[in-house]
Structure 1
């Protein structure tokens, strides 16, 4: 596990989104310079989607060779394809429809009307197999060594769809089906902590006063079962990218 997270505080959510987008351009370009490709895990939610929209609007996005970016998701709502609540749908509208990504390198989690039907466990297994197939030579697996994982922090300190106390916080498999999530929809698919921690960098994103207590717990407490955000750490670096309201209790 990496050292304690570095905390970067921005005035408001808009500035946070633009700063995170600029930082992401640099991280992806550096990864491509180092090993030819980049592997990024996206998140949904208000801040995560705002970061993607800011990136799409930035001229600096052209510093990235989008054909050599692998796009993954940290979690997904198990809903039909194209549902506006799916993280994939939001990411496509905010960013992916506006850049020249290789469709074969955009790795969406299965929808509830996909090849596995409404079987979320099979959909999770399918995503785990896709991740395993993308492991590069020399990587330990069972998932790629992601360059950057973006994670929104929920008001209950959940990240991805790892909610406090649910079985997924204790699961050692790469990907799990999540049931009985405390916010709708109740059925989801999520990366687990071992997969998240394979990343070189993990970025925790939070904005608004409603996230302040969760951010404090994420940065000062241990025990990822009760405070999942406290267990989301990168191998090389962990960043907490916050606006002033989310950082108010630090």
Structure 2
């Protein structure tokens, strides 16, 4: 099944990963300024990986960041590796080092996924993260928060979060969070938000760099079947933007590129 909303996606291209991270960070800080100035709370879904951390470091260095009221910003993760809490593989640990531990942020605003040394198994970890999301329901029909921005990385295979190609998790419409076993990318055990949760976000921002991502990006923009190219099925309710560097942009249709 192709993603019927692909024509609404836009692409922002910057010359290299450093410039790309700075661009995304500036837009993110601007987005938070507008929302917090309006007296609203912001829920943000983070991702892992090299570019995910680079964006967060750029946010930490942004001059306006220190002026924000971070007490009204809640951070979540679209997926987490089910490893010990102190493991460098955890997306939470990477995000804390890049940004979160540098902020004046209430501990309860960091909604980290369970770890493998918390005393329960993978299935219970998924249930507990779903229950944590349900503490901030957007509505009776949506028992999870609406993310103002949901950051996603994209793998060379087109995966997003821990939704990998041609696996049942990408097609799940019943659950909020799923356990993932025998992941094609290590570590093998993870938890992940499902596509319906990600796609309820107002803005889905996919950030990717490198020539090895060009094919996946081209397929996602061309409306490939989302079960084979999960990135093709990622779509925000307001905006869907692919932030890419020049190396990843070789297969991007000119009509989708946002003017600088």
- Shared fold, TM over 0.5: yes
Task: Name the SS of the counterpart of 1:84 in structure 2.
Answer: coil
Output the CA distance in 2 between the equivalents of 1:188 and 1:165: 17
Using the TM superposition, give the Cα deviation of residue 249 of structure 1 relative to its aligned residue in structure 2, in angstroms: 1.6
CA contact (8 A) 2:136 2:143 kept: no
Q: 1:167: how far off?
A: 1.4
> 2 CA distance for matches of 1:233 and 1:34?
25
Q: Counterpart of 1:6? A: 10
Which residue in 1 is equivalent to 2:134? Answer: 132
The residue aligned with 2:185 is 183
Q: CA deviation at 1:200?
A: 0.3
Q: Partner of 2:35 in structure 1?
A: 31
Q: Does 1:69 align with 2:73?
A: yes
Instruction: Output the TM-score relative to the length of structure 2.
Output: 0.92
Map residues 42-61 of structure 1 onto 2, 5 A cutoff: 42-61=46-65
Does the residue aligned with 1:225 lie in a helix, a strand or coil?
A: coil
SS in 2 for 1:59: coil
Q: Which residue of 2 aligns with 1:219?
A: 221
**CA RMSD of superposed structures (Å):** 1.4
Structure 2 residue 124 is matched with structure 1 residue 108: no
**Runs of 5+ consecutive residues of structure 2 not aligned to the other structure:** 253-260
CA distance in 2 between counterparts of 1:139 and 1:202 reads 23
- Write the distance in 1 (CA, Å) between the matches of 2:55 and 2:235: 20
Q: Map of 1:127-166 to 2, 5 A cutoff?
A: 127-136=129-138, 138=139, 140-166=141-167
Judge which range, 32-41 or 154-163, deviates more.
Answer: 32-41
How many equivalent residue pairs? 247
**Residue 172 of structure 2 corresponds to which residue in structure 1?**
171
Give the Å deviation of 1:55. 0.8
TM-fit CA distance, 1:162: 0.3
- Residues 13-35 of structure 1 deviation map (CA, whole Å, 9 limit, x = unaligned): 00000110111101122222345
* Alpha-carbon distance change, 54 to 171 in structure 1, aligned in 2, over 3 angstroms: same
Q: Distance in 2 between matches of 1:70 and 1:159?
A: 21
Kept in 1: contact 2:82–2:114 (CA 8 A): yes
Contact 1:139 1:145 in 2 (8 A): no
Could you list the per-position Cα deviations for residues 68-117 of structure 1 after superposition, in whole angstroms to 9, with x for gaps in the alignment? 1000001011000020011000000000010111100100000001142x
Instruction: Please list the CA deviations of residues 161-186 of structure 1 after superposition, one character each: whole Å capped at 9, or x if unmatched.
Output: 00001111011211101111111001
Give the Å deviation of 1:121.
1.1
How far apart, in 2, do the equivalents of 1:77 and 1:129 lie?
18
- Is the Cα–Cα contact under 8 Å of residues 74 and 160 in structure 1 kept in the other structure? yes
Q: Deviations over 1:42-81 (max 9, x none)?
A: 0110101000011111212124211110000010110000
Could you say which residue in structure 2 is the equivalent of 1:232? 234
